[in-house]
Amino acid sequence: MSAERRVPPLAEVERWAGALELAPPRRLLGAAGDRALARSGGASPELEERRPYVLGDDVRRIDWRGSLAHERLLLKLFRAELRPRLELAFDLSGSMAVDPAKAELAVDLAALLVRLAQVGGFELALWGLESPPRRLEPEELLGEGLELASSSAVPLEVALETLAPLLRAHSLRWILTDALTPEEPLRWLTSFAREAVAAQLVQVLAAADAEPRGGEAVILRDAEVGSERELVLDAAALARYRERFERHQRALGEACARAGVDHAVAIASASTREARLEAAVGLLLARGALAC
């Protein structure tokens, strides 16, 4: 297993946070409210949403009828209480820390999304994909940064399946990961996107992930389990890698389309950290995931 590595965010994040927005909060709130009212049958023009009861909630607000129907305690939420909510999941596995440029870009994007949520008045849940999923503190990310290559990290599909029950219905969901998992992606994408207002996968890749260089002997190290093997990256090896990578990307793109998840690929290939973040922001603006 790779040693844990703490990556602080770029100071440039704050400038971008003042120039961008995550999504129009009114549109997100309207979508959540429309669906909640439809589900409630219009019984109350003020009742917008229900959520699972947690210890410490006011028991006078338990929706007993809805709780009986769903076989779990549900709490009533009303229109004045609802705020758009961002659920941001961050892949802490070893593969995210192998390449410094890739790690920095992932952390910078996470910090930018957190700041946009704060400025935009969103509720925010920042999740580290570990076993079990860990609620991360935004202040820690914006200050000291994140520790990557977590010793508690688990395969992406396992982490997302355990995270899914913790996600709030009608939230806006983003996941930052390299998505370089051999597992069929449709299942974990579907569980991540279920009942979301919108879902966004930002696949953060190192330049070598997308286009490895050949002509030399390299040590391949599995960042998740620590196994190693020596391989000469000749033309044949590169051709095999490109074919597998392209097949993986096609399958991932098709699964995203079926699950209703927007798929953006951010490659950390620019020469400076600032330029890498700028390129990723441009990509997300072009896809409509961010707005000026």
The domain tally of the chain equals 2
For residues 141 and 208, state if they share a domain: yes
What is the pLDDT at residue 28? 46
- A 10 A CB-CB count for 58 gives 9
What is the rounded distance in angstroms from the CA atom of residue 290 to the CA atom of residue 285? 5
Cα Rg of the chain, angstroms:
20
Same-domain check for residues 15 and 31: no
Rounded to whole angstroms, the Cα distance separating 75 from 63 reads 6
How far is it, in rounded angstroms, from Cα 150 to Cα 66?
40
Low-confidence ranges of the chain (pLDDT < 50): 1-2, 25-45, 80
Q: How many residues does the chain have?
A: 292
> Measuring CA to CA, how many Å separate 234 from each of 213, 243, 248?
9, 14, 21
Residues 262 and 121 in one domain: yes
pLDDT attached to residue 163: 95
* Closest to 199 measured CA to CA, from 208, 186, 189, 207: 189
Q: Which of 81, 113, 148 is the last residue of a domain?
A: 81
What per-residue confidence (pLDDT) applies to 142? Answer: 96
Q: Is residue 291 part of a domain?
A: no
Tokens of 201: 């996968």
Strands (E), the chain: 5-7, 47-52, 74-78, 85-91, 123-129, 134-136, 146-148, 172-177, 198-206, 217-221, 228-232, 261-268
The reported pLDDT for the residue numbered 212 is 87
What's residue 170's pLDDT?
A: 85
pTM (two decimals): 0.80
- 88 and 210 co-located in one domain: yes
**Is residue 143 located within the same domain as residue 195?**
yes
Same domain, 52 and 15: no
Q: Does the residue 292 lie in any domain?
A: no
C-alpha separations of 254 from 51, 57, 95, 186 in Å: 32, 41, 23, 8
Residues spanned by the domain of 126 = 5-23+84-286
* pLDDT at residue 233, as a whole number: 74
